[in-house]
Amino acid sequence: MALLTILEYPDEHLRTVAQPVTDFGDQLQTLIDDMFETMYAAPGIGLAGAQVDQHLQLFVLDVSEHQNDPRVYINPVWEALDDERKQMQEGCLSIPEYYAEVPRALRIKVSALDRHGKPFEHEADGLLAHCIQHETDHTKGVLFIDYLSPLKRERVKKKMLKRHKASV
Ligand code: GNR
Ligand code: NI
């Protein structure tokens, strides 16, 4: 297993629209294992391919209290089950140390493939639903700060550029 490098905003690669996964071979299995290791080490509750510069429609997540419920979603699609939305404080491993309230669908149904290409679907609410929407956004090159005002987004960008300069 290996720890992967997580891209940080405003890295333009985070804006890449991911391709569907079609090959469920060894390379994909290694990528998934490495993504779990990277997510748990960060630590984070989710990690999308785009964040480790792999522009495939996939993400891993684990929202359990004891980090013992690893899940993989490949070629995911979700739909809201009703009109109810909820604000939740979000963070992103690609935008370290910045948190903001983001409104998202409260209850969703998600359909995806597992790591062997087998379809599954389930309903989700609360943190899991937020996380699935956040991760699916990554597969489209969308970041949670895109839902904030342009002014706030500009402040985040400045803060991140300063941070990257400081770490050189
Ligand atoms: O670790 C993470 N926490 C989090 C909190 C609220 C909503 C979404 C997330 S996902 C984030 C990890 C990450 O950046 N995934 O893309
Ligand atoms: Ni993220």
CATH assignment of the domain containing 61: 3.90.45.10
- Is residue 168 pLDDT above 80, yes or no? no
Is 67 part of a structural domain of the chain?
yes
Closest ligand 1 atom to Cα of 92:
14
- Looking up tokens 């990257």 gives 164
Is 4 part of a structural domain of the chain?
no
Give the C-alpha separation, 161 to 18, whole Å.
Answer: 25
The whole-number average pLDDT for the span 133-154 is 98
Is 121 part of a structural domain of the chain?
yes
Q: Structural domain tally of the chain?
A: 1
pLDDT for residue 115: 98
- Percent residues over pLDDT 70 in the chain: 99
Is 147 part of a structural domain of the chain?
yes
Q: Tell me which ligand sits closest to the C-alpha of residue 46.
A: 1
Ligand 1 within 6 A of CB of 90: yes
CB 98 within 8 A of CB 8: no
More confident residue, 168 or 117: 117
Is 44 part of a structural domain of the chain?
yes
Task: Find the 27 Cα to ligand 1 centroid distance in Å.
Answer: 25
Is 7 part of a structural domain of the chain?
no
Give the domain range for residue 53.
12-167
pLDDT for residue 1: 87
Ligand 1 within 6 A of CB of 135: yes
Is 80 part of a structural domain of the chain?
yes
What contacts 88, CB < 8 A, 6 or more positions away? 101, 102, 104, 127, 130
